[in-house]
Amino acid sequence: MIDSVLAILSAVMLGLGGFFMVSGAIGLLRFPDFYSRMHAASMTDTLGSYLVVGGLMLTAGWGLPLFKLALILVFIFFTSPTAGHALAKSAQHCDLRLPGGGASTKKADNEISGSAQGPDSRDVVSADRV
């Protein structure tokens, strides 16, 4: 009884996860520019992968595989926004720079007079810290 309920639940979660993966791919193809495509891609590595891994966890039974799947979930949860931020941050350093992208002029002046490094190296430093 419990087994069949778990099997159905896991099938539903895998199906929904697949649906969000496909939606992410469609968004990636249809959206017009780099940043809005990033939003579509972030769908595949949030709910899409949570549902797929969660669905697999339901069928894994108690044991090491369950623990490993949980670890995968935790690592996706913490690494995917880091990767997304790195992508957006590096887009700031080329033609894709957002209109409001630079630090406001007053701050940039302080930055230059305050240190010999200049604003670009400051960006690199803060990217490292995040």
Write the single-letter amino acid at 23: S
In whole angstroms, the minimum distance from the beta carbon of 17 to another protein comes to: 11
For 89, other C-beta atoms within 10 Å of its C-beta total 14
13, 24, 49, 55: residue in contact with another protein (rule CB under 8 A): 24
Minimum CB distance to another protein smaller for 8 or for 98: 98
Binding pattern for the stretch 37-76 against another protein, x by CB under 8 A and - elsewhere: -xxx-xx--xx--x-------------x--xx--x-----
Residues in Cβ contact with 92 at an 8 Å cutoff, skipping those fewer than 6 apart: 98, 101, 123
Instruction: Name the DSSP class of 44.
Output: I
Distances (CA, A) of 72 to 7, 13, 82, 85, 125: 21, 17, 15, 20, 29
Chain contacts with another protein (rule: CB under 8 A): 19-20, 23-24, 26-27, 30-33, 35-36, 38-40, 42-43, 46-47, 50, 64, 67-68, 71, 77-78, 80-82, 84-85, 88-89, 91-92, 98-101, 103, 107, 123, 126, 129-130
